[in-house]
Chains A and B, each alone.
Chain A
């Protein structure tokens, strides 16, 4: 039997009922795995579900019991908390700040990294490999190393507490990974295409704009999603370089002191802050995973 199985896939099919029973047995044998995965999968959803349902409870109801009361009494759902969040000027302007920083902090590093990635992949210049190794070295520099000097620098330049200061910082610290990712993608572009374009007399700038960027779009998309999520989700950088210009994470952070007493504010604000990256994630999940694998495995 064993030999027949290894010999090749095209052997005489076993009797129908035998196959069925084997399948049932196999299914039963795997049933614990299915159950385990269902339980774990549900457990993984509970915290986020809890945050969302908590945000739909009035402060009074939340004082009585946690979010699960909504399963027995769905009529207790209220959107008042969200109305309050959207009436709260501080939180709304914080969302705006986050949006500006995330968009700026995504586009700028993509442009800069695409240029550098192209140079590292397709232009010849002395010390290219060494410079690229330097970029890889910068990949692991903890941003804690930059906080204090940049804090002083921003104060001297007078851009402390501005969205620009955040965008520039996120651009710089996004670059090593961005250059690394794009260079590795660009280098895979077929050489014939490049040579053909060069023989046709296209300038390097033209090749970059008309050939590399369009062909590199999948990698750029992955990178864009990463960079957007990082900048949107940042707390540390904004907490260090901003006082009045608060992104949403900082605005929520400043409310944490009274945690427990103001959950009707914190829960919906947090949910609003995470629904946008979550939407981006679900919309572009494929690119996200591809970028992840390109960055870590390949």
Chain B
């Protein structure tokens, strides 16, 4: 172990300036990666022989769906950290992640509907993946509304942290139950892994877009957590000093 104090940045007072320095970098990476990913996706990747050009929404849809699930797990991880070690910053991170996660879930559902219309001829089918994504959106909304309805921020973050943990235990159960429900009710359902193999450029574009979404998430979450810190620590001296200096 070197002499670095790993817990230094667990304190909101030292994390606030660090987050401020990271935001422009992450924002820049987001822009660059999105441009590269979208360029490969729209201009380099070949046209799919079955789905034509419409498949290109995959470069938004699939990364958004991945992010929606990843963010829930990360959020539950922060919630657990906050409950176990009672660190203020973890709870603020969980709070800040929820709206972005909900946004990606909604984006995945929305682009899925746009993709489903030309492919399946319907905006919505009760496919296992669509249904579990919808339930994930409900879980995010429950988390945010529980947080919003409790005035005491300490109780709000602890209560919603517990809810996030209960949710993360339930996510696999919900996923498999919906999957079995679907196969039992509908027989062979429409699947969208119709193309047997994926061209390497398509995969590249999708991975680059995923990284871009990660960078976007980090940027937005850091910005949100900064205002969360200011709001919750507004009675402290360091916030008064920071605000006076206009940083």
Q: Tell whether A and B belong to one assembly.
A: no
Write the residues of chain B forming the contact surface with A, with a CB cutoff of 8 angstroms: none
Write the residues of chain A forming the contact surface with B, with a CB cutoff of 8 angstroms: none
